[in-house]
Amino acid sequence: MPALSEYVNVYNSALQVLKDKGFRVWIDKQADMFCAERNGWDFMAENPISLLGLVALQEHRSPDAYEDYWWKSEGILDYRTLPDEPPNYVSVTKKT
């Protein structure tokens, strides 16, 4: 079992992380999307976990200004070619 999965019981934690990072968060009811904004950078996603992921992309890339495709990374990973078997690893275990 994964240490953490995308599920509704993680939504509040993701929203709290966004708030702790200084984002204003809200729901756009017309679009049925979750939104966040900080320093003029605004994001929209179908759920708070995805919203937090978009913020992580912006924080990782650290763009100075908006430009088309500012989030794009030219790397070797491509979601269409990921292996369908997990690598050899040992998952974290619960402390007893």
Domain that residue 34 falls in = 10-62
For residue 4, is it within any domain?
Answer: no
Please check whether residue 24 is in contact with residue 13, taking contact to mean a CB–CB distance below 8 angstroms: no
Residues in the chain predicted with pLDDT less than 50, given as ranges, are none
For residue 20, is it within any domain?
Answer: yes
For residue 75, is it within any domain?
Answer: no
For residue 77, is it within any domain?
Answer: no
For residue 53, is it within any domain?
Answer: yes
pLDDT score, position 76? 77
pLDDT score, position 96? 73
Question: What predicted TM-score, i.e. pTM, was given to this entire model?
Answer: 0.85
pLDDT score, position 86? 84
For residue 90, is it within any domain?
Answer: no
Contacts of 37 (CB under 8 A, 6+ apart): 23, 24, 43
Task: Summarize pLDDT for 56-67 with one digit per residue, the tens.
Answer: 999 999 999 999
